[in-house]
Amino acid sequence: MSTENVNLVNQYFEHFNNHNWEQMAAVYTETAEFKDPSLGQGIVTQSREQIVQKYSELNEVFPDLNDKVVQVYPSGENHVIVEFVSSGTAPDGSQFELPICTIFTIENGKITKDFTYYDNFEE
């Protein structure tokens, strides 16, 4: 099972880096639980449509948005932890690199939970 889950997560990042938001959202269940500082505090439920909208809007600001996977850690039967660096260039030419860690919960071949951790503190 962990191999299938790792393959699903790799597919997720391939769709992300190709900016194919519909196919990326399709690896999630119809509604999934998210922990993401960009969505507020606590757990937020998002539909596939909301996922597509969020990343489409983010991609408008950062047209070269890219995630570079550093390491994938399968954990148990239904979790995959991924360490990666997100990068992109803003319209003003400023660039960012953001180290991120996400814990994916996968059930029946779909992502049900996406708990993402990163430092969103502006210096």
**Residue 121: is its pLDDT beyond 70?**
no
pTM over 0.85? The answer is: yes
> Model confidence over 17-35: pLDDT tens digits?
999 999 999 999 999 999 9
> Model confidence over 108-118: pLDDT tens digits?
999 999 999 99
Residue 101: CB partners within 8 Å, gap ≥ 6? 81, 82, 83, 84, 116, 117, 118
Question: Largest alpha-carbon pair distance within the chain?
Answer: 44
Q: Given CA atoms 118, 16, 69, 28 in this order, what sign does their dihedral have?
A: positive
Q: Structural domains in the chain?
A: 2-117 (3.10.450.50)
